[in-house]
């Protein structure tokens, strides 16, 4: 229990930052979403300028701000009155905010459906882009690999250095430090206990790289008015986001490598130094993705591009024999008809049995999602849900055992 009290201030700081990020991210989602999507309902870009559509977005943002203020107030009150439960607050308060956002979104989606019907905001064609050929040309390996190469080299160096230090390490290896940076958990020395952190970091590296590949595999939802521009924006967006995720991977690799240096007794920082390291790593990890989130918007829809200039460059690349497809703009097609509202349950869950794609761009915010008609998507979703529930139950039980 004393450990929880010592860590309560740090946990409160993390909780506050997390809550602010959640509130801001879901609060501004209507602003960075494509204009052709009104809470999961496809409309024309001209309809997005109508007072009814603008008012609906403003109403959502106001509710998110009000909900965010309430949750932050609860968080502060919890820290002042019951600091010992800060760990539970970290788990459940952000989830409550996300649940509130879901309820508000569904309500806005229902209103958007009615507005589209009443005002006849019918989209003349629901174009999509088949990016299969482009992905094949790029062989999905044209994302910024340098971040993963550097991260991999760091892991290899840490593993080699740890093995060199192995014979001189004590029989008991420190596996955890308290908030005061004093060891409070140990394990018998073995190759596994010494190399556990680098192995976890390597798994994280592979996971982040696979996530980066998914960005290149996501099927794009384009603007019906200007599909070619949407595609060009998306090509730039995914390179920007790939770079941001690469930087995040490097920062996490460095962070976990610091823990490994602590494990092999090379570097034991003070509490102040460790807090500074954590803050710097969090800022360095999150800033690039945040920048892309605000700068580019959903699929790059906020990027200002000269489509004629891009098309000209694409033609020049083709003449020069540049086959990386970095600027080539394919023709829009009606393949699989992903733009039809009937395939988007509650405006956010894509279900189309005729579409072989597993990953598709969402209709709200900048995320990508699954085609839930695919068995593989349902299996992955089920595994993710089980994993989250397991972590929540395990952490909650562990907390009450500490009391």
Segment 25-60, tens digit of pLDDT: 888 889 888 888 899 998 888 898 999 999 999 999
Confidence of residue 188 (pLDDT cuts 50, 70, 90): confident
For residue 271, is it within any domain?
Answer: yes
What pLDDT is attached to residue 298? 80
What pLDDT is attached to residue 224? 60
What pLDDT is attached to residue 197? 86
What pLDDT is attached to residue 124? 62
Exposure string of 36-71, with b = 16+ CB inside 10 Å and e = fewer, is bbbbbbbbbeebbebebbeebbeebbebbeebbeeb
Assess whether pLDDT exceeds 80 at residue 237.
yes
pLDDT, mean of residues 182-202: 84
For residue 364, is it within any domain?
Answer: no
Half-sphere exposure of 388 (CA within 13 A, CB side): 9
Assess whether pLDDT exceeds 80 at residue 326.
no
Nearest to 272 by CA among 9, 5, 4, 2: 9
Contact between 165 and 204 (Cβ < 8 Å)? no
In terms of residue numbers, what domain contains 271? 125-327
What pLDDT is attached to residue 113? 94
What pLDDT is attached to residue 121? 86
For residue 14, is it within any domain?
Answer: no
Assess whether pLDDT exceeds 70 at residue 278.
yes
Assess whether pLDDT exceeds 90 at residue 61.
yes
Assess whether pLDDT exceeds 60 at residue 396.
yes
pLDDT, mean of residues 288-311: 77
What pLDDT is attached to residue 5? 52
What pLDDT is attached to residue 369? 82
pLDDT, mean of residues 267-272: 79
For residue 396, is it within any domain?
Answer: no
Assess whether pLDDT exceeds 50 at residue 177.
yes
Number of domains into which the chain is organized: 1
For residue 177, is it within any domain?
Answer: yes
For residue 288, is it within any domain?
Answer: yes
For residue 268, is it within any domain?
Answer: yes
- 3-state secondary structure at position 82: coil
For residue 290, is it within any domain?
Answer: yes
Q: Which residues contact 370 (CB under 8 A, 6 or more apart)?
A: 350, 358, 359, 360, 377, 378, 380, 381
């Amino acid at each position: 229990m004393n450990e929880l009290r010592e860590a309560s201030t740090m946990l409160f700081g993390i909780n506050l930052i997390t809550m602010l990020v959640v509130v801001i991210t879901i609060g501004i989602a209507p602003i960075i979403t494509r204009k052709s999507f009104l809470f999961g309902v496809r409309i024309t870009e001209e309809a997005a300028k109508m007072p009814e559509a603008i008012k609906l977005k403003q109403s959502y943002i106001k509710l998110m701000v009000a909900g965010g203020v309430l949750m932050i107030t609860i968080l502060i009150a919890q820290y002042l009155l019951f600091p010992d439960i800060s760990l539970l607050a970290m788990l459940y308060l952000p989830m409550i905010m996300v649940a509130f956002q879901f309820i508000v979104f569904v309500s806005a989606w229902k209103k958007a459906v009615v507005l589209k019907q009443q005002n006849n905001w019918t989209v003349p064609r629901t174009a999509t882009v088949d990016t299969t050929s482009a992905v094949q040309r790029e062989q999905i390996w044209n994302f910024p690999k340098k971040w993963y190469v550097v991260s991999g080299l760091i892991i290899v160096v840490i593993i080699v250095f740890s093995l060199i230090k192995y014979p001189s390490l004590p029989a008991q290896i420190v596996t955890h430090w308290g908030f005061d940076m004093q060891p409070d958990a140990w394990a018998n020395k073995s190759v596994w206990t010494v190399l556990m952190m680098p192995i976890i970091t390597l798994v994280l590296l592979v996971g982040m790289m696979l996530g980066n590949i998914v960005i290149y595999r996501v099927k794009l939802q384009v603007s019906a008015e200007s599909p070619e521009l949407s595609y060009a924006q998306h090509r730039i967006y995914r390179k920007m986001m790939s770079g941001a995720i690469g930087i995040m991977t490097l920062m996490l690799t460095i962070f976990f490598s610091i823990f490994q240096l602590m494990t092999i007794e090379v570097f034991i920082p003070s509490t102040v130094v460790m807090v500074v390291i954590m803050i710097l790593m969090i800022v360095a990890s999150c800033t690039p993705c945040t920048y892309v989130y605000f700068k580019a918007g959903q699929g790059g829809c906020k990027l200002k591009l000269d489509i004629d200039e891009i098309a000209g460059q694409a033609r020049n690349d083709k003449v020069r024999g540049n086959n990386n497809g970095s600027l080539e703009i394919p023709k829009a097609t009606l393949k699989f008809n992903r733009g039809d509202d009937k395939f988007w349950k509650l405006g956010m869950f894509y279900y189309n049995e005729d579409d072989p794609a597993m990953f598709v761009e969402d209709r709200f915010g900048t995320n990508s999602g699954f085609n839930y008609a695919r068995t593989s998507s349902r299996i992955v979703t089920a595994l993710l849900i089980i994993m989250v529930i397991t972590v929540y139950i395990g952490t909650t039980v562990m907390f009450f055992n500490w009391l």
